[in-house]
């Protein structure tokens, strides 16, 4: 019998007081009174599923993820530099450090509670430690889109030096269970989380948590692997309503393939049947790596399932210290097969220190606009004031609602004329959060802009000035509800490396 420990948290400290179903003392997540269901011990023969992924999901559904149209294009259009985010530890001793064995391993954004919840997994060998934390990004929008940076200040030049709002904080924990102290790279389907665990007394396993009914859930099922390792979990819903689950052994070199026997994961008759195994030797040399996270995503156009893996280093090229995401096409017509499609070199820093590391936690998310968002974490809590640093990598066209809604309009500044290298996004909604009258105060971006992308509805424009304080010659980015891009180094614009201030204007 497992005793119930309680962790007391003041109502002021607990930013999810209105969401959690308690006020004074928070019950720890604990072993359920009825044992979680296990996977079938016997394995089935490789099964020709002949299925694609689910494309019927709608935003806010409890047990499915939204599909994204033309996944390969969306993947290639991820902005190579993201926006920085962060959160406070709340009432918890996070017990993460870098370098060190205890560090963040995975991150997922849940669809419940307006998409403001993140779950981060980690290793924790402390007595009474935790393998994960629930984070409430209370200051962020509740529309399911990109969060935008929560580390902007008009008085601090570098976002890297800016702390996030105090309301954005860890609010709950997933304690170590049965001695399994290492939580790995994970994936959520809706708000059902598949969290791999290892370094316990038995085989590696995946624990399933349901955040739809409680923000302090216990596992409702375990899926056991064949070895002691379980570093990654990949989780998706199929077009027939069943679920596909991959358990990645050490460095994801072997993937154990499971399928649910029922469409209701909470059904008393559901079993997780091992139907296949995939090994990295099935791909040519240089097409697979030691992935820390592997996430499924489905293409709306044809139900094709893809797998996105994150790690440090390219597969055949790229320094081992570089952050990469890799895209694979998943074939389910018989033995599971993977086909390498594309790679994306991402950058965890702009003008300062690293804000994430894809050797730590990373995770994919699809919001109501159907675009891909990739989140990356640092290893520890080295942000300002011992906060945890994150990066949000979104598409190069940042917000589809920009065409008609000024609240979602933006201008994206790039350092290079080919729309690459570091930059800064000028969101209409965040215009008061940086000193845009002086670009030297905006991540030291004075006289750096060589290209821009923008989307502004009719009746508005952004004026660019070549001097601070809105002085000197200018160029206008006129809103007409369309997507635009411009090379400021071109003869038509003649404004390369000149932008020193900018402001929004009404017609």
**Can you give the residue ranges of every domain in the chain?**
6-30+69-393, 400-506
Maximum Cα–Cα distance across the chain:
75
Residues 400-506, CATH architecture: Sandwich (2.60)
Q: Is the CATH number of domain 6-30+69-393 3.30.70?
A: no
Is residue 331 within a helix (H) or strand (E), and if so which, with residue range? strand 323-331
- Measure Cα distances from 473 to 196, 424, 467, 491 in Å: 57, 21, 8, 16
Rounded alpha-carbon distances, angstroms, from residue 167 to 15, 125, 300: 6, 28, 35
Encode the chain (507 residues) as per-residue pLDDT tens digits.
333 333 334 333 444 445 554 333 333 333 444 556 665 544 555 555 668 999 999 999 999 999 999 999 999 999 999 999 999 999 999 999 999 999 999 999 999 999 999 999 999 999 999 999 999 999 999 999 999 999 999 999 999 999 999 999 999 999 999 999 999 999 999 999 999 999 999 999 999 999 999 999 999 999 999 999 999 999 999 999 999 999 999 999 999 999 999 999 999 999 999 999 999 999 999 999 999 999 999 999 999 999 999 999 878 665 677 999 999 999 999 899 999 999 999 999 887 789 999 999 999 999 999 999 999 999 999 999 999 999 999 999 999 999 999 999 999 999 999 999 999 999 999 999 999 999 999 999 999 999 999 999 999 999 999 999 999 999 999 999 999 999 999 999 999 999 999 999 998
The overall pTM is greater than 0.85: yes
Which run of H or E residues covers position 414? strand 410-414
Per the document, the length of the chain is 507
Rounded to whole angstroms, how far apart are CA atoms 232 and 364?
13
Closest by alpha carbon to 114, among 79, 82, 139? 139
Fold equal for 6-30+69-393 and 400-506: no
Angle, CA 324 vertex, CA 321 and CA 330 arms, to 5°: 145
């Amino acid at each position: 019998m497992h005793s119930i420990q309680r962790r007391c948290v003041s109502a002021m400290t607990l930013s999810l007081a209105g969401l959690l179903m308690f006020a004074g003392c928070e019950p720890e997540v604990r072993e359920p009174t009825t044992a979680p269901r296990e996977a079938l011990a016997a394995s089935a023969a490789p099964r020709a599923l002949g299925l694609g992924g689910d494309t019927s999901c709608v935003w806010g559904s409890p047990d499915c993820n939204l599909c994204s149209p033309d996944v390969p294009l969306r993947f290639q259009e991820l902005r190579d530099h993201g926006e920085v985010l962060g959160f406070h530890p709340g009432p918890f001793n996070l017990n993460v450090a870098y370098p060190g064995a205890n560090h963040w391993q995975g991150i997922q954004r849940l669809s419940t509670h307006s998409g403001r919840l993140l779950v981060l997994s980690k290793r924790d060998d402390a007595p009474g430690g935790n393998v994960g934390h629930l984070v409430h990004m209370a200051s962020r929008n509740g529309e399911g889109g990109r969060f935008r940076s929560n580390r902007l200040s008009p008085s601090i030049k570098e976002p890297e030096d800016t702390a996030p709002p105090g309301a954005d904080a860890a609010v709950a924990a997933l304690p170590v269970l049965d001695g399994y102290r290492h939580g790995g790279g994970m994936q959520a389907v809706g708000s059902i989380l598949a969290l791999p665990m290892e370094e316990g007394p038995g085989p590696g396993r995946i624990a399933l948590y349901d955040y739809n009914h409680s923000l302090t859930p216990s596992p409702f099922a375990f899926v056991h692997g064949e070895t002691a390792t379980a570093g990654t979990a990949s989780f998706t819903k199929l077009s027939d309503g069943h679920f596909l689950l991959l358990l990645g052994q050490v460095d994801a070199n072997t993937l154990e393939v499971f399928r649910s026997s029922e469409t209701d994961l909470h059904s008393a008759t559901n079993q997780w049947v091992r139907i296949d195994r995939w090994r990295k030797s099935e791909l040519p040399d240089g097409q697979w790596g030691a992935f820390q996270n592997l996430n499924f995503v489905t293409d709306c156009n044809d139900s094709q399932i893809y797998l996105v893996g994150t790690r440090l280093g390219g597969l055949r090229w790229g320094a081992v210290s570089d952050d990469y995401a890799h895209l694979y096409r998943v074939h389910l017509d018989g033995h599971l097969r993977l086909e390498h499609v594309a790679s994306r070199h991402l950058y965890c820093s702009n003008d300062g220190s690293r804000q994430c590391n894809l050797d730590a936690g990373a995770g994919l998310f699809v919001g109501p606009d159907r675009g891909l968002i990739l989140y990356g974490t640092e290893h520890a809590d080295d942000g300002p004031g011992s906060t945890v640093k994150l990066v949000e990598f979104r598409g190069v066209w940042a917000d589809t609602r920009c065409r008609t809604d000024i609240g979602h309009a933006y201008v994206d500044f790039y350092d290079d004329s080919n729309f690459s290298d570091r930059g800064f996004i000028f969101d209409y909604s965040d215009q008061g959060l940086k000193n845009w009258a002086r670009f030297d105060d905006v991540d030291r971006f004075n006289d750096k802009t060589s290209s821009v992308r923008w989307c502004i509805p009719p009746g508005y424009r952004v004026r660019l000035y070549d001097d601070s304080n809105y002085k000197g010659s200018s160029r206008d980015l006129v809103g007409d509800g369309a997507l635009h891009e411009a090379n400021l180094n071109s003869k038509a614009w003649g404004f390369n490396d000149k932008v020193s201030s900018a402001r929004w204007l009404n017609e």
